[in-house]
Amino acid sequence: MTTSPSTAPSSRPAEDGTRYDAVIVGAGFGGLYMLHALRRLGFSARVFEAGDDVGGTWYWNRYPGARCDIESLQYSYSFDPDLDQEWSWSERYAPQPEILAYANHVADRFDLRRDIRFATRVTTARFDEDAALWEIETDRGDRVSGWFCIMAVGCLSNANIPDFPGRDEFEGPVLHTGQWPHEEVDFTDMRVAVIGTGSSAIQSIPIIARQASRLTVFQRTPNYSVPAWNRPMDREQEREVKADYPGLRARMRGRPTGFFFPFNIDPALGSTPEERERQYEEFWGRGGLPFLGAYGDLLFDADANETAAEFARNKIRSIVREPATAELLCPDNVFGCKRLCVDTGYYETYNLPHVHLVNVSDTPIERFARDGVVVDGTTWPADIIICATGFAAMTGSFERIGITGRSGLTLAEKWRAGPRTCLGLSSHGFPNLFMITGPGSPSVLASMIQAIEQHVDWMADCMAHLRDIGARTIEPGAAAEDAGVDHVNEVAGVSLRSTCSSWYVGANIPGRPRVFMPYIGGFPIYVNRCNEVMDAGYEGFIITGGAPAAAPPEVRLTERWHVPVDIDVISPAMVAARQVPVV
Ligand code: FAD
Ligand code: NAP
């Protein structure tokens, strides 16, 4: 039996024939803000959301321990100063229920729900060239059209549930962390199997272990994890931030990652081993992703990286008492190559007598049996199996929609060898189709709400410009797109992140082409490029219909991204992006 969240739709008549300025797919942080931004500019929009409510990631991922790993004060919208002031987070890293409550608060405060159709999955989107309209169909029988179709489908929204043989034979529930039931799952006295050791597993394992009578973790590749040192919100820090929230947002935008933390630009090998040890200890003490700020070249120089990797391995060895288990938990790949994990008590959990680690890297999971998981002929008993097996990232939710652009070209066909976009915003051959945090943009390498807002503002302003000049369509030209894709690939090669088999390169899903999908040149460089393109009248894009623009496009919502930012950390990837001086 497989349990997933209830999506039983309340009954409503199918919508037929309505024409909107935009049809938005998804009501996570991307779709919600897109709707709000379009309304501000006087556009009509319909949002379709597969889930029963708003929140996207935070609606679906309700597993125990789910929380953000960007500090709460930074993981929030910045488009409304009053919203900044009125919301208060309870912890340094907000738990999933609180982030979901925030998404609900935003939806209510800005009266967004009335334009959203929940429990409705968009199945096809087809561009009608004669009418210059997107025809959208859903699994509830809706057929509507939009001048624009905006994909806010999320980068980590299509759960990867490997097709383990014997799935139907297993008598207990099989859950995926990204499709978690709405009812509380009680593990008391249960034998639990967790498959996977990525961020979702690493967050949930310590909590499940508190209840389970036996916990077996199936590990294919160990991951590096840094303690979160989560704590109740420091109210003094919150007051300081709220006294100058725009100041914090500006500092965030000056960072390659789009979020702010202390960063030391010096190279790791420029320090003595003793100095490095002290530095790593200090940054480990700060916890979480900011550990990567210990030295400036950790993701660019393999020897430098190895010093951080060995420090982290020694931490694991110092925590996990059983040496063989400790060694099994020690990754031998590049530190931070796969998405760095952030935990609370993860490694300590393996000191508990009822917690077992099973290595499935050499001998994969053979099958599910009636009462457990079989590896190499041995059945590991389980009453419930949790697949913490991640997502078909970046492009997975696009693949579930039949998207057809000009001349019958499908997006699936065009992206067969890897996604091709211009700035991750749109793709040649698909006029008036926008994708929020699409492949080729910083997206998952940046603090994502920040990345979402910048995309939404650019798209909404673009639509307003087309309306100003009476244009019909916009799409990237083939040459601009080709140059952009080459650039994304070239910059990816500078970073060690492109070297391992992570979901960034699609390697977690068998058969996917190996392409580094997000843009790693740095958030501020990327934002500047988007601004330049806009200021030059959408340079590299083809606009059809309408009068030629008499003046540069009006900067409306993007005004806040047009302010110069102090780029205070320069990474080799940013240098490779050729837009910052080498210091
Ligand atoms: P999503 O939140 O994924 O929303 C997309 C929505 O589109 C979903 O609700 C989905 O149901 C809907 N949808 C998709 N296809 C269709 C369709 N065909 N029809 C109708 N609806 C559809 N990012 C950070 O920056 N910091 C973090 O700490 C962080 N933590 C994370 C923790 C987890 C467990 C996960 C999975 C991701 C995390 N992320 C984090 C990334 C997170 O996805 C983004 O921060 C952000 O929530 C994405 O918002 P979104 O609206 O772009 O996409
Ligand atoms: P993930 O990082 O892709 O991890 C999936 C895990 O499942 C990996 O350990 C993978 O092993 C394993 N796996 C997949 N298929 C398997 C199979 N057939 N047999 C055995 N093991 C298998 O997914 P995730 O943990 O859900 O995280 C995805 C992303 O979401 C994160 O990287 C992060 O960006 C975001 N996230 C953030 C947080 C947070 O802290 N805020 C929490 C959760 C998620 P391999 O490594 O060998 O493929």
33 in Cβ contact with 456 (< 8 Å) = yes
Q: Count CB neighbours of 564 within 10 A.
A: 9
- Alpha helices, DSSP H only, in 178-301? 199-211, 235-243, 245-253, 273-286
- Best residue among 156, 339, 445 to mutate for probing ligand 1's pocket (most ligand atoms within 8 Å of CB) is 156
Distance 216 CA to ligand 1 centre (A): 28
Residue 423 φ/ψ, nearest 5 degrees: 60, 20
Question: What pLDDT score was predicted for residue 528?
Answer: 94
Indicate the helix (H) or strand (E) that contains 348: helix 346-349
Of the listed ligands, the closest to the CA of 226 is: 2
**What is the atom index within ligand 1 of the atom nearest the CA of 448?**
25
Distance 498 CA to ligand 2 centre (A): 17
* Minimum CA distance residue for ligand 2 atom 36: 199
Rounded to 5°, the CA angle 443-445-447 comes to 75
Of the listed ligands, the closest to the CA of 99 is: 1
Does the Cβ of 518 fall within 6 Å of ligand 1? no
Question: What pLDDT score was predicted for residue 538?
Answer: 97
Residue 232 is classified by DSSP as B
Does the Cβ of 436 fall within 6 Å of ligand 1? yes
Ligand 2, residues at Cβ distance < 6 Å: 68-69, 156, 162, 177, 195-201, 203, 218, 220-221, 339, 342, 360, 365, 388-391, 444, 503, 508
Judged by DSSP in three states, 378 sits in: strand
268 in Cβ contact with 307 (< 8 Å) = yes
165 in Cβ contact with 159 (< 8 Å) = no
- Best residue among 257, 329, 339 to mutate for probing ligand 2's pocket (most ligand atoms within 8 Å of CB) is 339
Of the listed ligands, the closest to the CA of 59 is: 1
Does the Cβ of 576 fall within 6 Å of ligand 1? no
Does the Cβ of 29 fall within 6 Å of ligand 1? yes
User: How far is residue 136's CA from residue 109's CA, in Å, rounded to a whole number?
Assistant: 28
Distance 198 CA to ligand 2 centre (A): 4
Does the Cβ of 392 fall within 6 Å of ligand 1? no
Distance 296 CA to ligand 2 centre (A): 26
Question: What pLDDT score was predicted for residue 300?
Answer: 95
Distance 294 CA to ligand 2 centre (A): 25
Rounded to 5°, the CA angle 245-535-129 comes to 110
* Residue 575: CA count within 13 A, CB half-sphere: 12
Distance 374 CA to ligand 1 centre (A): 32
The pLDDT averaged over each successive group of 10 residues in the chain (583 residues) is: 44 95 99 98 98 98 98 98 98 98 98 98 98 98 98 98 96 98 97 98 98 98 98 98 96 94 94 98 97 96 98 98 98 96 98 98 97 98 98 97 98 97 98 98 97 98 97 98 95 93 94 95 95 96 92 95 87 83 56
Distance 157 CA to ligand 1 centre (A): 5
Question: What pLDDT score was predicted for residue 5?
Answer: 44
Distance 392 CA to ligand 2 centre (A): 10
Of the listed ligands, the closest to the CA of 72 is: 1
Question: What pLDDT score was predicted for residue 239?
Answer: 98
User: How far is residue 281's CA from residue 278's CA, in Å, rounded to a whole number?
Assistant: 5
Residue that is written with structure tokens 């992006």 in the block:
577
Burial call 253-267: b when 16+ CB within 10 Å, e when fewer: bbbbbbbbbebeeee
Residue 159 is classified by DSSP as B
